[in-house]
Amino acid sequence: EDKVVQSPLSLVVHEGDTVTLNCSYEVTNFRSLLWYKQEKKAPTFLFMLTSSGIEKKSGRLSSILDKKELFSILNITATQTGDSAIYLCAVEENYGQNFVFGPGTRLSVLP
């Protein structure tokens, strides 16, 4: 059965800390892995990863995919209270025919 596992499920840090969020997956016919940040309403798209070993960066956020070991990490450096959110990992398979979402990691950044 296809599945996406995220860890930790919950994380509390202080401003300025660096965090690493993990996403591992077991799917057939992997196509891409997506990271989202979810706050109040709709998840905000962060990254789409399709190739192993190529880091994607956006400000203080970065992410990388390892297709051999079937996982991805999302790094956030110098965290701010505004980074507090649920971070979702989703895997696209079968050339866009199916998406599997992980349970999310709830990140709380304290001042």
Q: Is residue 45 a contact point for other proteins (CB under 8 A)?
A: yes
The DSSP-derived string for 68-102 is TTTEEEEEE-S--GGG-EEEEEEEEETTTTEEEE-
Rounded to a whole number of angstroms, the minimum distance from the CB of residue 36 to other proteins is 7
CA pair distance 41, 18, nearest whole angstrom: 25
Q: Is residue 34 a contact point for other proteins (CB under 8 A)?
A: yes
Which span (22-30, 53-61, 72-80, 83-91) binds other proteins, by CB under 8 A?
A: 83-91
According to CB under 8 A, which residues from 11 to 30 bind other proteins? Answer: none
Question: Are 24 and 100 contacting, i.e. CB atoms less than 8 angstroms apart?
Answer: no
Q: Is residue 100 a contact point for other proteins (CB under 8 A)?
A: yes
CA pair distance 69, 84, nearest whole angstrom: 28
Among the listed residues 1, 41, 68, 69, the single contact to other proteins using CB under 8 A: 41
Q: Is residue 56 a contact point for other proteins (CB under 8 A)?
A: no
Q: Is residue 61 a contact point for other proteins (CB under 8 A)?
A: no
Q: What is the contact surface with other proteins in residues (CB under 8 A)?
A: 34, 36, 38, 40-45, 48, 86, 88, 90, 96-101, 103-104, 106
